[in-house]
Structure 1
């Protein structure tokens, strides 16, 4: 689990299914991030006596929930993704990588962050094992969209995306169902629409619509 960190503390299994969240630069105050980091450390200490893998999942689940709440309610940071031309750039980059780097399951572009669900595709050409395939995919996607979104916004010399992102390996079908539902219903939960299908900047692959 990578959370609020630039270093890579874990492997990202090739061919796994992933839930990704990344956000705009400065979309959360530094003090809020520091509070969440400290709370995460305290929770890890609290859960350290139990099953290590299960404990890590529970801690990250609880902190991610608070992280998401902060993103939704924070109206002081940038919300460039609510502008259709900007969101379309991100949508195009996400779809461009479908069936090349991953099999795209679902996404939702919110005003200041993006949720993305996919299955990583392993290369047919035999190559050296890559421990961090998702990190490379996100780096490429962010680099491209940052450049073109900044051009569209007439911004220069400023970061568009926050460096840190959240990636989670999906373990089973039930978890996949919950995550796709969560992803698609984020704008409903936030009060933007009554039905997720009314949100312009979301997508769900046809075979997963029953999960939503």
Structure 2
């Protein structure tokens, strides 16, 4: 689920290591999503949606819920892997990812609200700070993945290793849902059973300006 350009509103991005989800369960998940969307498009066909505002709204809401359910299932596969690479687990590897995003944010005029680096995938909430120019997501990810792949392979003495899966999940955070998505990202290691303290998890990062309004209130 790709957006062509980075929006000027908060966007939740998830990407993963190559081979982190076995092909069969991933294929089954994609098929389930595709069939559900086809069912909804048949139930609320285009001609009906064109003349019936209620049908349009319901169709959009059900599609949104379907994609949310798909994403939760996708993320669950990543949080509880039975096999596959986990070479983002170490603190030095996590720092490679976080530092890369912070550097890119400065170079590309992005705001990085939150990052959670898990053992086999990464969550980021970001937005573009430039309203007059469009920043291609594909370019940003290309640069980030190329740089971090080189650094990770050097760190693990594994030259030439394929690091990142090609596709990612990217979705705009809906109005009024920022706090929920923010804590969904930071609580990822808690949900996966890796820690009971999201605030002190080494792989978590948040924008300093969110400290008072979000972090301090949670730990108070």
- The answer to whether the aligner puts 1:44 opposite 2:51 as a matched pair is no
CA-based RMSD of the aligned residues comes to: 2.0
Deviates more, 1:98-107 or 1:137-146: 98-107
Q: Secondary structure in 2 aligned to 1:180? A: helix
Q: Normalization by structure 2: what TM-score?
A: 0.83
Q: Which residue of 2 aligns with 1:5?
A: none
Deviations 1:124-179 (A, max 9, x none): xx7xx64x62222111111110111112111133210111101111231x211111
Consecutive aligned runs of 4 or more in structure 1 exceeding 6 Å deviation: none
Deviates more, 1:93-102 or 1:49-58: 49-58
Gaps of 5+ in 1: 3-9
Q: Which residue of 2 aligns with 1:134?
A: 137
Please tell me whether the aligned partners of residues 18 and 120 of structure 1 are also in contact (alpha carbons under 8 angstroms). no
Higher normalized helix content (fraction of residues): 2
Q: Normalization by structure 1: what TM-score?
A: 0.86
Which residue among 170, 181, 189 is the counterpart of 2:173? 170
**Are the structure 2 counterparts of residues 13 and 95 from structure 1 closer, same or farther at C-alpha, using a change threshold of 3 Å?**
closer
Gaps of 5+ in 2: 45-54, 216-220
Distance between the aligned counterparts of 2:4 and 2:143, measured in 1?
19
Distance between the aligned counterparts of 2:14 and 2:194, measured in 1?
19
Q: Which residue of 2 aligns with 1:6?
A: none
Q: Which residue of 2 aligns with 1:200?
A: 202
Q: Which residue of 1 aligns with 2:47?
A: none
* Number of residue-to-residue matches in the alignment: 199
